[in-house]
A and B are shown apart, each in its own frame.
Chain A
Amino acid sequence: MATTMSVSVTINGAEYTADVEPRMLLVHFLRDELGLTGTHIGCDTTHCGACTILLNGTPIKSCTMFAVQADGQTLTTVEGLMSNGGLNPIQEAFKEEHGLQCGYCTPGMMLTGVALLESSPEPSEAEIRIAISGNLCRCTGYQNIVHAIQSAARAMAGIDPSVDGGAGGGNGASEGGEE
């Protein structure tokens, strides 16, 4: 298995070229070769979405793609969400709405959220839930993740994101009635 292939990709705006084994998974290339460890591995079978990154703007599971398949393409990982030293609104929103606990699914969740808001700036709750259904979370029960994405949508639209926040806790009561 000594044969290697050359791969050149643009990740978070920077160019990377490397010789890798053809069987190297994209997620291992990102994590082990480039040290971009914000992209995680949870299941090996494309179900959990911890390895979600954006490939030319579209969320993909980087555990189910070979590094060499990404040759010539443009990738975004969680490390590329910030711009000019500032957080992306989705990052702010996940913190503000308590949309994360252990943090392991969070990078993939945020990238899926970013892609959703790119294509649908005002998604309904149902739309959000369908969009993130390829990203599993064991800690949050998704409710505050949905709130975070809604809040980020408001922020991106220039609306005060705190207007209809969900995770204040406050005096305790929350979430009235049906969806």
Chain B
Amino acid sequence: MSTSQDLGGLGCSVKRKEDARFIRGQGRYVDDVKLPNMVYLELVRSPFAHARIGSIDTSGALEIPGVLAVITGEDLAEANLSWMPTLSHDQQMVLATGKVLFQGQEVAAVVGETRFAAADGAAAVRIDYEELPVLLDPHKALDTSAPILREDREEKTNHIFHWESGDRESTDRIFEEADVTIEQDMLYQRCHPAPIECCACVADWDATNEKMTIWMTSQAPHAHRTIFALVAGLPEHKIRIISPDVGGGFGNKVPVYPGYVCSAVASLTLGRPVKWTEDRTGNLSSTGFARDYHMRAELAATKEGKIRGLRVKTLADHGAFNAAAQPSKFPAGLYNICTGSYDLENAFVEVDGVYTNKAPGGIAYRCSFRVTEAAYLIERAVDVLADEIGMDAVELRRKNFIQPDQFPYETSLGWSYDSGDYEAALDKALEMVGYDDLLREQEEKRARGEIMGIGISSFTEIVGAGPGKTFDILGLEMFDSCEVRIHPTGKVLARIGAQTQGQGHETTFAQILAEELGIPVDDITVEHGDTDTAPYGLGTYASRSTPVAGAATAIAARKIREKARKIAAHVMEVAEEDVEWKEYEFRVKGAPDRSISMGDIAFAAYTNTPEGVEAGLEAVNYYDPPNLTFPFGTYICVVDIDKGTGEWKVRRFVAVDDCGTVINPMIVEGQIHGGLTEGFAISSMQLIDFDENGSMIGSNFMEYLLPTAVETPTWETDRTVTPSPHHPIGAKGVGESPCVGSPAAFVNAVVDALSPYGVRHIDMPITSDKVWKALRDAGVSE
């Protein structure tokens, strides 16, 4: 008889299996791959944000010793590869033809025997540009004077889409009748996930076997294989994508980028392995940025503080191509989760997407598609309302929470929340932080002219895409998968369709199997990321691994248990219905001394199967979730502000998360630390900006600031557990909640601190100079 603790099952802080290689420097990332005869690819990028391409002179580059080839957009056009589809029903140039649309855009690719030769060759490509007027302000994109950016589209406009959700008329009516309304403009700024590992690939065309192998920094290797098959016309069984160890993703490694396509083309052309490794400037200036949502939030409420309606109008700046990596059927993704944790009568949301001369994207940076924007909007707006009616921000939230007995809760914008207990998380956070004492302290400090703020965010997340009927990538429904094989000696090999960029799947998925199979976690190996061996999956992002692939893993194990029960009955010579699975082994009902372990059944599965039962012990499951999952929590941030400098410091940050059943508490806590740190980074420093010419400010780590250990606060974490009723083990996913929920807590804290001086909102990133200016304007600082 075993316990969950013996096995390393659910709820155990099992140390990570993957760490053995990482702490020895033996992780294998794409740039570590070195193949015989390998050559290097370097991209030539546009220095201009909008310019017509004249001639491209490659002769100088080709004269450099070691340069093997120069590829231009015209070359790709001959193979019909100069454009590729994005994940948002748009297309994107692989290498520019005609004109360039953003600074840093890929214009040519140079292949050399060495990194040096490729770089020298790239520097020697001569391109004539004729500069064109630059469109940077999305609010001016639809002006008649604005240049039309996309000549490839039939519609001669910079407007990409209009999308709305909810009932406009009844929402308008609520606003007309309401006692109180508030309106707040807020910008969720353009930022970039900036994983420490940039993008890279090694494309290796094997002409003999006509097979293309691509090592690639990919969060979705199977989907990328299918995209390569569809775009390049290679047969899918002759494409193998290997996403080995990946040095952080955060959504940045979901799209297909031109460097991957050019490397594959170069390998096909030259018959040699081709490595492309992006530099940091290439990563920040051309690969998927996030956000750039210009939002107006309005709330209607009674004077007692019952929120009745929400109205949202948003302008989405997608840059030069709509390369939002989001698989929902809605152009603004899951943005209409913006009613948050609140039970209100009605809501209406509209979003317009436009093109500008900026890098393409709109990817989901550590969130499901547009959920961070939504959570930030509602949690900020609720604070503005609290300020308007003079009510405590905690009381206002409490008064409007969806109540536990209302679940499953249908929102006015069409989502069905699976489970929640928002007040329990709020109360726990209030207790941890000592809210009442803090309020008293704040009052005293204010009387002394000191500046301190408390910010609350009681967010609701939405993660775990599918279901397949509403989520797909190029039609591929967003299921996920697991294949489990138990060897004769009771050891397990499992392969999952999801992939990992540091989440620890090799450990946590083994824990799910340990729990379901009664086999110790050390006897289970989990593999992922190789499309030749793993079952088809749609990738790891949007906190979908545990909700979808995790469910597939539990169900595959349960399928094995079904077969194992037959074998158990056979071996123990009893009827199948007399066998039960109890305490991690099969037992004969009513005979507690008669039992058989899964390990012994595994041996019997290969040596002593009952008649009519196939040998072997394995199963596969492709899981299409019936619904998404809805993690939630309350975060409370306490800040102190220096009047002289405007510097704001996080004194305390308390995070109570509810992600349903917890597989590995250590890993969950680690995910929360990391997500809070990214939320802090977005709130305080991360900004991709442009000068008036469209030159990027923020294309290296000198300008694009990431927090170091010195600025990063200490996080205090705890949790409540409200399992998802529709997930096989009740888990909801956690990786993104802290990044989704925390920005509003930071901003609310700073705004709360400054509220005595008439400040109602400050856009992120809240830098010291913004705070200092607000204080100066209020006559506090000089």
Chain B contacts for A134, CB-based, 8 A: 708
Binds A, one of B245-253, B401-409, B586-594, B606-614: B245-253
Task: Looking at the assembled complex, report how far the CB atom of A92 sits from the nearest CB atom of chain B, in whole angstroms.
Answer: 8
Chain A contacts for B712, CB-based, 8 A: 129, 141-143
Chain A contacts for B195, CB-based, 8 A: 102, 104, 138
Q: Which residue of B lies closest to A35 (CB)?
A: B34
Chain A contacts for B197, CB-based, 8 A: 40, 42, 50, 102, 104
**B196 CB contact (under 8 Å) in A35, A104, A145, A179:** A104
Are the C-beta atoms of B666 and A167 separated by less than 8 Å? Answer: yes
A35 to B25, CA, bound (A): 11
Verify if B725 is at the interface (C-beta below 8 Å from A). Answer: no
Task: Looking at the assembled complex, report how far the CB atom of B702 sits from the nearest CB atom of chain A, in whole angstroms.
Answer: 6
Are the C-beta atoms of B25 and A141 separated by less than 8 Å? Answer: no
Given A95-B16, A95-B19, residue A104 in contact with residue B669 (CB < 8 A): no
Verify if B13 is at the interface (C-beta below 8 Å from A). Answer: yes
A111 to B665, CA, bound (A): 28
Verify if A1 is at the interface (C-beta below 8 Å from B). Answer: yes
Given A37-B25, A173-B718, residue A168 in contact with residue B247 (CB < 8 A): no
Output the residue of B21, B706, B719 with the most chain A CB within 10 A: B706
Verify if A150 is at the interface (C-beta below 8 Å from B). Answer: no
A38 to B662, CA, bound (A): 32
0 or 1 for each of B237-256: is its CB under 8 Å from A? (1 = yes): 00000000111101000000
Chain B contacts for A130, CB-based, 8 A: 709-710
Are the C-beta atoms of A102 and B248 separated by less than 8 Å? Answer: yes
Chain A contacts for B15, CB-based, 8 A: 95-96, 98
**A101 CB contact (under 8 Å) in B29, B193, B503, B714:** B503
**A133 CB contact (under 8 Å) in B662, B676, B708:** B708
CB under 8 Å from chain B, chain A span 135-169: 135-146, 167-169
A82 to B24, CA, bound (A): 8
0 or 1 for each of B692-720: is its CB under 8 Å from A? (1 = yes): 00000000111000101110101111110
A21 to B702, CA, bound (A): 28
Are the C-beta atoms of A138 and B248 separated by less than 8 Å? Answer: yes
**A40 CB contact (under 8 Å) in B16, B23, B29:** B29
Verify if B652 is at the interface (C-beta below 8 Å from A). Answer: yes
CB under 8 Å from chain B, chain A span 88-121: 91-92, 94-96, 98, 100-107, 110
Task: Looking at the assembled complex, report how far the CB atom of B740 sits from the nearest CB atom of chain A, in whole angstroms.
Answer: 15
Verify if A177 is at the interface (C-beta below 8 Å from B). Answer: yes
A87 to B15, CA, bound (A): 16
Are the C-beta atoms of A102 and B501 separated by less than 8 Å? Answer: yes
Are the C-beta atoms of B666 and A48 separated by less than 8 Å? Answer: no
Task: Looking at the assembled complex, report how far the CB atom of B145 sits from the nearest CB atom of chain A, in whole angstroms.
Answer: 38
Q: Which residue of B lies closest to A142 (CB)?
A: B709
0 or 1 for each of B26-37: is its CB under 8 Å from A? (1 = yes): 111101101000
Q: Which residue of B lies closest to A137 (CB)?
A: B196
A130 to B674, CA, bound (A): 19
Given A103-B18, A133-B709, A177-B652, residue A43 in contact with residue B716 (CB < 8 A): no
Verify if A26 is at the interface (C-beta below 8 Å from B). Answer: no
Are the C-beta atoms of A139 and B24 separated by less than 8 Å? Answer: no
Chain A contacts for B662, CB-based, 8 A: 172
**B65 CB contact (under 8 Å) in A2, A37, A38:** A2
Task: Looking at the assembled complex, report how far the CB atom of B365 sits from the nearest CB atom of chain A, in whole angstroms.
Answer: 11
**A47 CB contact (under 8 Å) in B651, B674, B702, B709:** B702
Are the C-beta atoms of A178 and B27 separated by less than 8 Å? Answer: no
Task: Looking at the assembled complex, report how far the CB atom of A27 sits from the nearest CB atom of chain B, in whole angstroms.
Answer: 11
Query: Is chain A's interface secondary structure helix, strand, loop, or mixed overall?
Result: loop
Verify if B626 is at the interface (C-beta below 8 Å from A). Answer: no
CB under 8 Å from chain B, chain A span 17-60: 21, 23-24, 28, 31-32, 35-45, 47-48, 50
Are the C-beta atoms of A139 and B248 separated by less than 8 Å? Answer: yes
A2 to B65, CA, bound (A): 9
Chain B contacts for A103, CB-based, 8 A: 18-19, 21-23, 27, 245, 247, 502
Chain A contacts for B714, CB-based, 8 A: 143, 175, 178-179
A73 to B664, CA, bound (A): 44
User: How many residue pairs at the A-B interface have CB separations less than 8 Å?
Assistant: 228
Chain B contacts for A82, CB-based, 8 A: 24
Are the C-beta atoms of B23 and A100 separated by less than 8 Å? Answer: yes
Verify if A9 is at the interface (C-beta below 8 Å from B). Answer: no
Are the C-beta atoms of A144 and B280 separated by less than 8 Å? Answer: no
0 or 1 for each of A47-83: is its CB under 8 Å from B? (1 = yes): 1101000000000000000000000000001110110
Chain B contacts for A143, CB-based, 8 A: 673, 712, 714-715
Verify if A13 is at the interface (C-beta below 8 Å from B). Answer: no
A98 to B19, CA, bound (A): 9
Are the C-beta atoms of B717 and A174 separated by less than 8 Å? Answer: yes
Task: Looking at the assembled complex, report how far the CB atom of A14 sits from the nearest CB atom of chain B, in whole angstroms.
Answer: 15
Given A44-B279, A130-B710, A136-B708, residue A172 in contact with residue B719 (CB < 8 A): yes
Are the C-beta atoms of A172 and B280 separated by less than 8 Å? Answer: no
Chain A contacts for B250, CB-based, 8 A: 138
Given A48-B701, A100-B22, residue A167 in contact with residue B670 (CB < 8 A): yes
Verify if B120 is at the interface (C-beta below 8 Å from A). Answer: yes
Chain A contacts for B16, CB-based, 8 A: 95, 98
0 or 1 for each of B183-196: is its CB under 8 Å from A? (1 = yes): 00000000001111
A96 to B677, CA, bound (A): 21
A172 to B116, CA, bound (A): 51
Chain A contacts for B718, CB-based, 8 A: 172-174
Q: Which residue of B lies closest to A92 (CB)?
A: B23
Chain B contacts for A1, CB-based, 8 A: 116, 120
**A98 CB contact (under 8 Å) in B670, B675, B710:** B670
Chain B contacts for A107, CB-based, 8 A: 25
Are the C-beta atoms of A140 and B673 separated by less than 8 Å? Answer: yes
Task: Looking at the assembled complex, report how far the CB atom of B110 sits from the nearest CB atom of chain A, in whole angstroms.
Answer: 15
Task: Looking at the assembled complex, report how far the CB atom of B581 sits from the nearest CB atom of chain A, in whole angstroms.
Answer: 27
A43 to B192, CA, bound (A): 14
Verify if B745 is at the interface (C-beta below 8 Å from A). Answer: no
Chain B contacts for A104, CB-based, 8 A: 27, 29, 195-197, 247-248, 502
Verify if B678 is at the interface (C-beta below 8 Å from A). Answer: yes
Are the C-beta atoms of A102 and B246 separated by less than 8 Å? Answer: yes
Chain A contacts for B399, CB-based, 8 A: none
Verify if B198 is at the interface (C-beta below 8 Å from A). Answer: yes
Are the C-beta atoms of B196 and A48 separated by less than 8 Å? Answer: yes
Task: Looking at the assembled complex, report how far the CB atom of B591 sits from the nearest CB atom of chain A, in whole angstroms.
Answer: 36
A77 to B667, CA, bound (A): 27
Q: Which residue of B lies closest to A47 (CB)?
A: B701
Output the residue of A77, A100, A141, A142 with the most chain B CB within 10 A: A141
Known contacts A101-B502, A106-B23, A175-B715; 4 further A-B pairs (Cβ under 8 A): A101-B503, A103-B22, A133-B710, A138-B250
Between-chain CB contacts (< 8 Å), 25 pairs: A1-B120, A32-B115, A37-B32, A38-B26, A44-B281, A94-B19, A95-B16, A100-B23, A101-B504, A103-B21, A104-B502, A132-B709, A137-B709, A138-B194, A138-B195, A138-B248, A138-B706, A139-B502, A141-B674, A142-B677, A143-B714, A144-B673, A168-B666, A169-B667, A179-B714
- For the complex of A and B, 10 pairs with smallest distance between CB atoms: A38-B25, A102-B502, A169-B665, A104-B247, A103-B22, A78-B25, A141-B677, A141-B673, A101-B502, A47-B701
